[in-house]
Structure 1
Amino acid sequence: MTTPDAQPAPEAPRPPAIVVKDLSFRYPGTDRDTLRNVDLTIERGDFVAVVGGNGSAKTTLCKTFNGLVPHYWNGDFAGSVHVDGVDTWESSVAELSSHVGYVYQDFQNQLVRPTVRDEVAFGPLNFGHADYRERTEEALAQLGISHLREKFVWQLSGGQAHLVALAAVLALRPEVIVVDEPVAELDPARAREIYLRLRDLNERHGITVITIEHHAEFIAEFARTVVLMADGAPVWHLPVQEAMNRHADLAAHGIPAPDVVALSAAVGADPVALDVAGAVGALRKHVRTAPRGEMKGADGEQRPAELAPSTEVVAAVEGVTHGYRSVGGELSTVLDDLSLKLHAGERIALVGTNGAGKTTLMKLLTGLIVPRQGTVTVSGIDTRSRSAARMADHVSYLYQHPQQMFLKDSVREDIALFPRGRQVPDAEQIVERIIADVGLTKLAERDGRTLSGGQQRRATLGIGLAMRPSLLLLDEPTSSLDIRSRGDVTAMLEALSDTVRCALVATHDMELVATWASRVIVLDQGRVLADTTPRELFTRSETTGQARLIPPQAARVALDLGLEPLPLTAAELMAWLPPETLGEER
């Protein structure tokens, strides 16, 4: 019997969100552990970024949190993982889904129901929750997408579909959410929107958020702690400020510092800046009134944006209107009276929001589809007059997802497929040279589907180059790659000028636009909103705002500092700083 003065017993402290002890895991058929003796604790309410190069086992680690490893991806499993106090070995994927929600990198594959409302309700309904309607409306409201509830999932933009996949996870009210590559395949503004939503869930609702991320600028701005993975184990787990102060560690593992970190470190800021405002404050007192000479690339060479283009037309789009029929039969216009000319020697970045018509335009250029109105010509050939198979003699299209390009059992056979099929003279010598050019000699006998992301991009470039096209089209070639692999792809794109007359890249990667492109075509609602150089584009805030483009960090710092001509990279911006201010990076 308690007395009036007796105090209630204090509640027992809840365990950390995730505790990993002595965890090792090996996939069947491999000769070494993918995860090696991992010890990691993630506290409740943390916002954790898991970073590391391709192949560092980031995704495998996170799949142990929801039980996919070892209950779906089986193998040799040792050690323990506890989520919200639950031992994942003794639980199941279904049981763990109420503790851990997981949004996969290929989030479109998570959408299994016809409408948004059905999709979000699917989990709680199947778990028998009587309040599934309330859970559905709550999740939609949390992410600000209640207005989409009656939409069919195939009608959604990439950003909207990503939010719906996240809402479907939230409807089960998990303690932890894991999001694998949250900004892959999204335009810059929608990428930032996803992170803002994740921060809101973390701060307002107390959900522990874990992201697997390659884009260090989002890590610096939004994460609270950072786990650096290498060779199957954490190198360290640190608060974000300390992690960014160790930018040399990150760079050594394929994660170069964000521009704001590199720039502030270059002028001796301690701690380094984590966002644009911080970098502007660190640099303002050091900026000179004029740069040292003309704007140059990081290698000291004149940027392609400043080089005069050729007048030779490789491809032309004249008065093209194209669209698709909806389920109801009405025509949805994607491209509207579009006219463009692509010239020899140009490096063209095709940018715009998800759904702006970029992929449709590239498919028209290949002849995979023909326009409802207007004409498309490549090398002077009207695409209506030849099959897509014959147009492949002149134009090559590399898909956004590299796996779609692999048809044979080895990289060598995939690269050889076109020249052998066309009975090209010296086909074998061509294949060997291209394999060497893309740096895959040691992997030539491997199935392309078993390669890492960066290696797959190299292999698909080899497939495209073997077709010896006049026009090379690439859809999101740097998506989901670590910085080192993105750099490899950029370097290969640089080298294409000796082989390909014109290259066009559809991309959301503004760093690629800034460092590689000589011309930028901005599509918006099926029309050309701007056709200009990267430097000119990033000075036009009205255009970038309408197209939902966010300039690279260095350009945003330079805009705030009022620098002209506008630096596009950290290397260019440093030309505005007196040499005596640039100390050794810490």
Structure 2
Amino acid sequence: MEVLRVDNLSYTFPGQEKPFLKKISFSLQEGEFVLLSGESGSGKSTLLNCLNGIIPHIWKGELEGEVWLKGVNTASSSLDRLVQLAGTVWQDVESQLIQLKVEDELVFGMENIGLEAEEIDRRLDFILPLVGLSRTSLVRDLSGGQKQRLAIGAVLAMLPQVILLDEPLANLDLPGAHSFLKFLRGLCRQGRTVLMVEHRLDLSSSYVDRLFILEQGRIKKDLQGKELVVQEEINIINRPGLTREGGLQIKAGLTKEGDPKIKEALTKEGDPQIRPALTGDNRYIEQSLNRPLKVQADKSPVAVEAGGLLISYGKKAILSNLNLQVKRGEKIVILGENGTGKSTFLKTLAGIRKGCSLQYKHFEILGQPVRKNKPAFFSSNIGLVMQNPNHQLFMDSVYREVGLNAPGRQAVMEVLELFGMAELSQRHPLSLSQGQKRLLAIAAIVANKPPILLLDEPTIGQDYFSLQKILEIISWLNEKEEMTVITATHDRKAAESLGDRAFIFSKGRISKEGGRDVVREYFNKYR
């Protein structure tokens, strides 16, 4: 039975002349599990907002064609009717969490569609094990991955016929991602229909029945059958790109002989959007990126050293008895399930400690005791790319955002070209897709060339090509400038490329540490 039909859909944003979505047509049947993928900024999130009625009821612009949801025309129906037919989990989950406690968040949607108290309690008992959270927990205390699970649970608790998911795996740890995908597969067997936007094809391709590839606002491919979907994943990963090896480095990690030099790779077979920054009048890349790092501490070979570190919020210990040493120029990855303290640790290193208390035997950054460090020390020497890019984008254009840290117009444009964002220079940062926002946040921090670069889930929302670009640029900076890079990630490709050494966080402690073999062992457990 058909549950969703799209007929010749086009959409043009207000103030724009050309349509962003162009003549899209497809239908979904009851019980289908469909994956929607494509490069960042290709229109995936915009398409979802056309399907659930956000466009045209809330977002204006010019909408052509029709969307039919269970026989209801979304343009002429009311939103309160549509939310009972289709449930949506946004890419930015924090924007849809409005309650103080976990239980209140899960109950809110069910109450609004008029469920009886007995049915609400029954569904709560069913959904709480999926989200893995205490019903009394405060939403503000949850990690990014835990908030993701909560937002997903709140939508699924309403049991809509059609479930629309925008990057739902983005902040989930590996066991949580596989558990969630199996749960969705089960819902489809019961007759629900799922349309999921996702870049992580390596995780999701074996679960879905069908794959749409969106390119420049059009559906380029519509593949049905698991074999074709898995084959398309292989084709995308191995697409020629920044290096001669294409996607090989992303799959296998960097070679043991050392990181490739990005300049050499790019000038051989580069993306035309990026190549000018490396082969033209390249004074910033050659001079500014090659200038000495702005280290204001002593010449200690140690970047970070902590002994007996305890980080707590009130009476709750987030990390305890942490002992570690990171040398200058190392690439470190921090692995672990949601809620194990990875983001808290990175924020502590960056000097962001509002509401938390520290205890330690010794704790030094770049050879200086932490207790003596002032805000200027952290801003000059440590760059943090946060898990949610909306928390650190402040300016009114992409150009000005990078310009906060880059010295002059030439420098700004070359950084934007390096990251493939020159054509977006006049766009407002908050008008970008989540993947583009994350790319911009990394570009703005890298422009300052901090001696220590902290990355909290830097590859979320990135298509394979953008992901490879990020990994190549960061690896080049690490190799050429001995920039210390510490990355918290759930992404295997990022971990293998950015992890010469790994710490695994578990229950607030370091449960294991080692080299690349530890990274492989960690991810192989969840294959």
Q: TM-score, normalised by structure 1?
A: 0.74
Please report how far the alpha carbon of residue 252 of structure 1 lies from its aligned counterpart in structure 2 after TM superposition. 9.0
- Residue matched to 2:501: 519
2:395 — aligned with what?
A: 408
CA apart distance, 1:93: 1.6
Asked whether the 8 Å contact 2:23–2:218 carries over to 1, the reply is yes
The question of 1:61 aligning with 2:47 is answered: yes
Q: Which secondary structure does the structure 1 equivalent of 2:469 belong to?
A: helix
Counterpart of 1:341 in structure 2 is: 325
Name the CA shift for 1:445/1:136 in 2 (closer, same or farther; >3 Å). same
**Residue 147 to residue 50, structure 1, CA distance change in 2 (3 Å):** closer
Please list every run of 5 or more consecutive structure 1 residues that lacks an aligned counterpart in the other structure: 1-14, 257-261, 264-295, 326-330, 421-426, 545-549, 557-586
SS in 2 for 1:530: strand
Partners of 1:18 and 1:253 lie apart in 2 by 33
| Structure 1 residues 229 and 136, CA gap change in structure 2 (3 angstroms) | farther
- Distance, in Å, in 2 between the alignment partners of 1:65 and 1:226 is 17
**C-alpha separation in 1, matches of 2:61 and 2:473:** 37
Output one character per residue of 1:76-131: Cα deviation in whole Å (capped at 9) or x when no partner. 111111111111111022111111111122223323233333323322323434x2
- In structure 2, the partner of 1:185 is 171
Q: Does 1:302 align with 2:257?
A: yes
Q: Distance in 2 between matches of 1:379 and 1:248?
A: 42
Going from structure 1 to structure 2, the CA distance change for 1:378 and 1:43 (only over 3 Å counts) comes to same
The reply to whether residue 227 of structure 1 matches residue 212 of structure 2 is: yes
| One-letter code aligned to 1:319 | G
Q: Please list the CA deviations of residues 354-383 of structure 1 after superposition, one character each: whole Å capped at 9, or x if unmatched.
A: 111111211221222285212432221222
Three-state SS of the structure 1 residue aligned to 2:214 is strand
Question: Does 1:18 find its partner at 2:7?
Answer: no
Give the equivalent residue in structure 1 for 2:112: 126
1-side partners of 2:339 and 2:80: how far apart? 34
Structure 2 CA distance for partners of 1:235 and 1:454, relative to 1, 3 Å: same
CA distance in 2, matches of 1:428, 1:158: 35
Distance 2:425 2:235 in 1: 30
Counterpart of 1:273 in structure 2 is none
Task: Tell me, in whole angstroms, the C-alpha distance in 1 between the residues paired with 2:357 and 2:305.
Answer: 13
Map of 1:551 onto structure 2: 524
Gaps of 5+ in 2: 242-246, 261-298
Indicate conservation of the 8 Å contact 1:159/1:354, yes or no.
yes
Aligned counterpart for 1:533 among listed residues 494, 504, 515: 515
Alignment match, 2:281: none
State the Cα deviation string for residues 391-420 of structure 1 (Å, max 9, x = none). 222211122222333222334433333467
CA contact (8 A) 2:319 2:509 kept: yes
Q: 2:57 matched to which residue of 1?
A: 71
Say if 2:466 is the partner of 1:489. Answer: no
Measured at CA, do residues 311 and 189 of structure 1 come closer, stay the same or move farther in structure 2, by a change above 3 Å? farther
Residues 1:396 and 1:38: Cα distance change in structure 2 (over 3 Å): same
- Relative distance call for 1:417 and 1:61 in structure 2 (3 A) is closer
DSSP-derived class of the 1:97 partner: helix
Q: CA deviation at 1:488?
A: 1.1
Alpha-carbon separation, structure 2, partners of 1:453 and 1:157: 18
Task: Please name the residue that 2:91 is paired with.
Answer: 105
Offset at residue 152 of structure 1 (A): 3.7
SS at match of 1:144: helix
Given residue 238 of structure 1, which amino acid in structure 2 is its aligned partner? L
Aligned-residue offset at 1:505: 0.9
Residue in structure 1 matched with residue 339 of structure 2 by the alignment: 355
Q: Using a 3 Å threshold, how does the CA distance of structure 1 residues 464 and 157 change in structure 2: closer, same or farther?
A: closer
Question: CA separation in 2, counterparts of 1:254 and 1:180?
Answer: 24
What is the one-letter code of the residue matched to 2:524? P
CA distance in 2, matches of 1:213, 1:519: 28
Q: 1:179 to 1:437 in 2, by over 3 A?
A: closer
By how many angstroms is 1:455 displaced? 4.3
RMSD: 3.2
The residue aligned with 1:267 is: none
**Matching residue's letter, 1:302:** E
The 1:409/1:167 distance shift into structure 2, 3 A limit, reads closer
Q: Deviations over 1:427-474 (max 9, x none)?
A: 666556545544444544444334444544443333223333221111
Work out whether 1:209 is the aligned partner of 2:194: yes
Q: Hey, what does 1:459 align to over in structure 2? A: 440
Larger of the two Rg values belongs to structure: 1
Seen in structure 2, the aligned counterparts of structure 1 residues 164 and 449 have a Cα distance that, compared at 3 Å, is closer
In the alignment, which residue of structure 1 is the partner of 2:292?
none
Amino acid of the structure 2 residue aligned with 1:87? N
Question: Where do 1:90-489 residues align within 5 Å?
Answer: 90-129=76-115, 131-138=116-123, 140-141=125-126, 144-145=129-130, 148-156=134-142, 158-203=144-189, 205-241=190-226, 243-244=228-229, 247=232, 251=236, 302-303=257-258, 312-325=301-314, 331-369=315-353, 372-374=358-360, 375-418=362-405, 431=412, 434-489=415-470
**Alignment CA distance shift 1:23-1:254 (3 Å):** farther
| CA offset digits 1:252-277 (Å, max 9, x no partner) | 99799xxxxx99xxxxxxxxxxxxxx
Give the C-alpha shift of residue 157 in structure 1: 5.2
Letter paired with 2:375? A
Q: Distance in 2 between matches of 1:301 and 1:311?
A: 26
- Measured against aligned partners, the alpha-carbon deviations of 1:226-270 in whole angstroms (never above 9, x if no partner) come to 2222221222323233533652895299799xxxxx99xxxxxxx
Change (3 A) 1:48 1:495: same
State the identity as a percent.
Answer: 29
CA distance in 2, matches of 1:59, 1:341: 41
Query: Cα 1:202–1:429, aligned 2, differ >3 Å: closer, same or farther?
Result: closer
CA change 1:138–1:127 in 2 (3 A) is closer
The amino acid of 2:343's aligned partner reads: T
**Paired AA for residue 27 in structure 2:** T
- Match in the other structure for 2:264: none
- By how many angstroms is 1:155 displaced? 4.9
Give CA deviations for 1:544-572 in whole Å, capped at 9, x if unaligned. 4xxxxx3399xx5xxxxxxxxxxxxxxxx
Mapped partners of 1:465, 1:158: distance in 2: 23
Q: Is the 8 A contact 2:312 2:318 kept in 1?
A: yes
Q: Which amino acid aligns with 1:108?
A: E
| Counterpart AA for 2:324 | L
Per the normalisation by structure 2, the TM-score is: 0.81
Bigger shift: 388-397 or 176-185? Answer: 388-397
Tell me the equivalent position of 2:290.
none
Work out the CA distance in 1 between the residues paired with 2:389 and 2:30: 37
Distance 1:183 1:481, change over 3 A: same
Q: Secondary structure at the match of 1:484?
A: helix
Corresponding residue to 1:43 among 26, 29, 53: 29
Amino acid at match of 1:138: R
Q: Which amino acid aligns with 2:169?
A: V
For 1:393 and 1:97, how far apart are their aligned partners in 2? 47
Retained in 1: the 8 A contact 2:454–2:487?
yes
**SS in structure 1 of the partner of residue 205 of structure 2:** helix
Contact 2:34 2:196 in 1 (8 A): yes
Residue in 1 that maps onto 2:274: none
CA–CA distance in structure 1, aligned partners of residues 331 and 482 of structure 2: 10
Secondary structure of the equivalent of 2:404? helix
Q: Given the superposition, is the C-alpha separation of residues 137 and 253 from structure 1 closer, same or farther in structure 2, using an over 3 Å criterion?
A: farther
How many angstroms apart in 1 are the aligned matches of 2:256 and 2:307? Answer: 35
- Which amino acid is the alignment partner of residue 179 of structure 2? E
